[in-house]
Structure 1
């Protein structure tokens, strides 16, 4: 199925079109939305008092790529966070002279209004050892647990063809890690190894005393899918042995519903704080000409997250919002 004759279904009506790697942050004045744009050349932000309002909210460009050097190409996967009264955006970018020298960077805004305030470059995200962020690194997410801040990200390592793993570390400040990196997850299963061996795009949701980390696996075409790790929140998050990894993907391509390559999600709460919502991207077709990374039709979707009797999350396209 190609983009010229894709089948519209009740499940594949986008929340926001042509916005990949979506991230929504809920603040006291409403919701903030950012994502990768098709040109991979800037950081954008929109705001609305309601989730629904984000669909048509005015989008503002906060920052543009450099002309040369670092942060001059492949501006990917921004996430906005409010930490100790300061706004931060974590994103990945490359260098025109070495386009795959992808590293994580940080923007900072000390003013109350991130839409109108001044955003400055806080520099590269700093590691705490001689290994972190030294190779292809991206998809930084940060979160607080029991009064400590943590960072999870994807980084490619190994001898020969590099493999994308997930790592975790505690944070010293919003722009610097405190501890050495710990390997959290590797692409162990066949569904994580289609075309490329990939674990990336981590996102955290909390429920009934447990942390759940979803991540994306395989290449960015129809094989892209979502896996999951979990841990009781009182455990040592930096001990990989305390984490549990699901054997099968939690969400994958569904031909009947017309959704292909779901991935790179985040989690938010509804306006009344009663419902967890997963925000993710997917395509409406699977036949892609050229590199799937440069196919612009990865759209943002929203899904109501359901919890089973054991407190485990259930991901169903039937629960997509705005159908």
Structure 2
């Protein structure tokens, strides 16, 4: 082989991995109007749903995480019921066992029109098959069997010790998280119990708020990551509960960390990071967090909060380490196992 050929071969071997690495990256945001994001990877695609603040539930679909930024918002359901006709917030879709086998159950918040916060309640749809984008049919209003005269927000699902629970938040003078047992994905089997209240100063900026409870399970441990302080402040942030055994309906079965686990990063111009979800990389080897945040400390709590995602790791004691929120536009490696072409 000539010297020129050897040099060319050497250049190819050095530069090719770098080119592949550069191609397999993405930047935040994943949606410019994306509060309360919920993101899952399923059967080769990412699916993203966020608050729309109107009468529709929409979803984006993409083979790559970065592709969600330009994927269209497809309407998958229109709200028509009088007691849940609009102001759609905080959609989450969970693959659960129903009477016809596994189905997607899409939980969301909606109320009467014109908007009245006091009418916001949790509702649920059921898919006809295994496509996260539906079609869906309305299944039930997720009202508390004995305390249905107050609004409830931010639904999520906990599966623990073979049982099913609904998580959410309500108002009782302050705003605590609740947990309610379910007999199936759409039916309560008991009333709500308080899961966590705003007890620390970092949970009480702008109001005493715990909301957006999200489940994270690994190696036999169960955590609930929740949003704290009022969403209109730049100090909206994440806290964490750890399950220590016993009845999950008892507040004493959960231990709250005395410090937040994810919060504003002024250097990176990230304010109010919260209302998160979790998803796995395509090859199942990485854990990722999706959340919304603002780029200004005065931006507030509206439809202009942007959807962002980043990888997180685990501490030696088995607790999650979310690090610090990264700046918009920072180029990040894509989730492991994504297609490169």
- The two structures have a TM-score, normalised by structure 2, of 0.81
| Cα deviation 1:292-323 (Å, max 9, x = unaligned) | 333x3211111211111111111213678854
For residue 57 of structure 2, what is the aligned residue in structure 1?
43
In structure 2, the partner of 1:240 is 251
Asked if the contact 1:283–1:299 (Cα under 8 Å) also holds between the matched residues in 2, the reply is yes
User: Of residues 285, 293, 297 in structure 1, which corresponds to 2:301?
Assistant: 293
Q: Indicate yes or no: 2:154 matched with 1:154.
A: no
Which sections of structure 1, spanning at least 5 residues, go unmatched?
A: 1-10
Q: Which residue of 2 aligns with 1:7?
A: none
Mapped partners of 2:226, 2:331: distance in 1: 24
> When you count strand as a share of all residues, which structure comes out higher?
1
Whether the 8 Å CA contact 1:135–1:156 is kept in 2: the answer is yes
1:304 to 301, 306, 311: 311
Q: Secondary structure at the match of 2:67?
A: helix
Which residue does the alignment assign to 2:86? 73
Residues 311-322 of structure 1 correspond to what in structure 2 (within 5 A)?
311-317=318-324, 322=331
Rounded to whole Å, the distance in 2 between the matches of 1:124 and 1:195 is 30
1:280 deviates by: 0.5
Take 1:318 and 1:29, find their aligned partners in 2: how far apart are those partners? 27
Aligned counterparts of 2:39 and 2:325: Cα–Cα separation in 1 = 21
Matched, 1:281 2:282: no
CA 1:79–1:322: 2 relative to 1, 3 Å: farther
Greater helix percent: which structure? 2
TM-score norm. by structure 1 comes to 0.85
Q: For residues 249-290 of structure 1, what are the alpha-carbon distances to aligned partners after superposition, in whole Å with 9 as ceiling and x for unaligned?
A: 1111111111000000001111111111111000111124xx
Tell me how far 1:29 sits from its aligned partner.
Answer: 4.1
Question: Is 2:149 the counterpart of 1:130?
Answer: no
Matching residue within 20, 27, 33 for 2:48: 33
Which residue of structure 2 lines up, in the alignment, with residue 86 of structure 1?
103
8 A Cα contact 1:12 1:284, kept in partner = no
Aligned length: 299
Unmatched runs of 5 consecutive residues or more in structure 2:
1-25, 333-341
Distance in 2 (alpha carbons) for counterparts of 1:201 and 1:82:
19
